[in-house]
Structure 1
């Protein structure tokens, strides 16, 4: 089957422009070939997420009435795309192209889909390790695929670990930012052991009466995100300068979300935390200099960090 790659790339470019200004800004720093592949990967991730959560371009998440059917659709369309067959959705067809071009193993795609399966099953983390396992599925696996898009060898476990770390950092910041919004649709990602520690009933996690206690846990999430962000930076010496520039810009832009949640404390959920255009541009400039001196990042990965499962 022959696909119109140009049209699929155009669709993916529109997807990232509408779905994530932060990732869209960072993607412009890649060289053209990697940029197109990053768009194709993003569009598939966005399409899966929107289908699973009944939203459009990451907005308007609702509790869907048919989660199992939606999960089955994600699996079927992804399997078709990986087999080089038409999936009926340009985002999935585009993923098939980038998977073939970059030798993305199906196990990485399956890992992401397993994250949607956990949400479908109304899964909730009990421990901190449970939280990291979930973050691996929904974001760390994306980091692994993105590393392959940037030319990292599938045998380079050390760099892949750092790529996974960046995905974990992004997701931990997301969870901190969206605790109240997620609770509104029955999603709970803060470990129940943490909630018990603070005396927060899970069915009252969004109650303003518990905001001061919730802010303590949000800061903990932000601190964990910062640790994984720092670890991820040490993977950039293995990348080209332009790829390192893009990764470091994305790390800074998205890392600011966790930092702002922590700074706001109990007021973190009064309005959705974001990153301003000026702040994004600032990180683009700063990341360029960081990429030049990226060899100075700490090379040894902390043994205290959770490590992804190996295939």
Structure 2
């Protein structure tokens, strides 16, 4: 399916670029692990293209073009693009899922901020839950309830990332904390950027994110039993490794400004062992009724786009709108430079 040289490139990209997923992927069966590594390599490339490049608008527009080429069957002549194109063809990957990721990255390029926790979850659905839904596709899982729980896990992971990176984001003049939380605490965004401190109020916000993430981690577990048996340890592994970052933040008093929460090799090994044990237990335990909980409103569109029988959709009006806005901004920047 994926050319061996392209697959090796993707393995190396994840080995160095996403330590948590690389560790968890070791527990996936090979027929899922390889396409999953290729998927994460493409997503990692997309994220880095926007996060690490100076001209974020141009980066998003290039990603749009690369996705168009992938779905046209003419991927860019690069290992990650060729590997992702092979996945799209083999697994009939719904276009709405990578488009959702692209929309989240476009929001980053537009420097969007979020007024409420629901807005933060809207963002998390795009940059994380969309990847969880794509992982389900790679496992040949299109059940709506299992997809909803995978999306819970994606939102939980992204909330953990946001909680961990409050200080680093502030140094880059980025804010993902809900603005209404800041307003309640009497904190002005520009003042926070100028002098980010781990005050009691800020640590309280980090705690709220960690607590909400923990609630969703617990809810997501009900969906793991709906996955193929061989895939369960790897997904449990990802769940425990990311939740471990939240536990580390708790031990640090929710101060994600003075230091960065990190986990070590031995902790990861312990969580992977726990994942193996829990996966074995899930084979004999009855299904939890939590499996059938309604999807978060913010991820419903992902479930609808992926579930069995979902119609193949074209690029959404919302995505077209934000890309058009970025295109206009790019043209204005060029005119300013040449004028």
Question: TM-score if structure 1 supplies the norm length?
Answer: 0.91
Q: Aligned pair 1:131/2:120, yes or no?
A: yes
1:260 equivalenced with 2:248 (yes/no): yes
Equivalent residues of 1:161, 1:307 under 8 A apart:
no
**1:164 equivalent among 148, 151, 163:** 151
Which stretch shifts more, 265-274 or 164-173? 265-274
* Corresponding residue number in structure 2 for 1:21: 19
Aligned equivalents of 1:143, 1:259: Cα separation in 2: 22
Q: Give 1:205 deviation, angstroms.
A: 3.0
Change (3 A) 1:151 1:272: same
- Closer, same or farther: CA 186–293 of 1 in aligned 2, 3 Å: same
CA deviations on 1:271-305 (whole Å, 9 max, x unpaired) are: 22121100100011111111112245633255695
- Residues 159-198 of structure 1 aligned to structure 2 (within 5 Å): 159-198=146-185
Cα distance, 1:125–1:275 mapped onto 2, change above 3 Å: same
Measured against aligned partners, the alpha-carbon deviations of 1:104-146 in whole angstroms (never above 9, x if no partner) come to: 1011110000001101111000011111100001101010001
Contact 2:145 2:293 in 1 (8 A): no
Alpha carbons of 1:199 and 1:287: their partners in 2 closer, same or farther (altered >3 Å)?
same
Which structure's CA Rg is the greater one? 2
Question: What is the CA–CA distance in structure 2 between the aligned matches of 1:266 and 1:251, rounded to whole Å?
Answer: 20
1:186 deviation in Å? 2.2
1:64-120 deviation per Cα after TM superposition (whole angstroms, max 9, x unaligned): 442221111111111112222131332122111112111110111100000011011
Cα distance in 2 between the residues matched to 1:37 and 1:71: 24
SS of the aligned residue for 2:199 comes to helix
Aligned equivalent of 1:149, options 138, 148, 151: 138
Q: How does 1:39-54 map to 2 (within 5 A)?
A: 39-54=37-52
User: Does the aligned pair in 2 maintain the 1:115–1:137 contact within 8 Å?
Assistant: yes
Deviation at 1:306?
Answer: 4.4
- For 1:58, the equivalent position in structure 2 comes to none
CA deviation after TM superposition for structure 1 residue 268, in Å: 3.1
- Which consecutive residues of structure 1, in runs of 5 or more, have no partner in the other structure? 55-63
**Residue matched to 2:337:** none
TM superposition shift of 1:249: 0.9
Q: What is the aligned partner in structure 1 of residue 325 from structure 2? A: none
Count of aligned residue pairs for this structure pair: 298
| Change beyond 3 A, Cα 1:212–1:284 | same
Q: Residues 152 and 159 of structure 1 are in contact (CA less than 8 Å); yes or no, is this contact kept in structure 2?
A: yes
| Matches of 2:190 and 2:250, distance apart in 1 | 23
Deviations 1:1-28 (A, max 9, x none): xx96111110110011001111101101
SS of 2:252 mapped into structure 1: helix
2:219 corresponds, among 218, 231, 253, to 231
Q: Classify 1:166/1:14 alpha carbon distance in 2 versus 1 (closer, same or farther; 3 Å).
A: same
Query: Which residue in the other structure is 1:57 paired with?
Result: none
* Pair 65,253 (structure 1): closer, same or farther in 2 beyond 3 Å: closer
2:203 is equivalent to residue 215 of structure 1:
yes
Question: Aligned pair in 2 of structure 1 residues 132, 178: CA closer, same or farther (>3 Å)?
Answer: same
SS of residue in 2 equivalent to 1:163 = helix
* Bigger relative contact order, structure 1 or 2 (CA pairs below 8 A, ≥6 apart): 2
Deviations 1:138-183 (A, max 9, x none): 1010100011111202xx1111111111111110000000011112
TM-score normalised per structure 2: 0.83
Secondary structure of 2:112's counterpart equals coil
Residue aligning to 2:188:
201
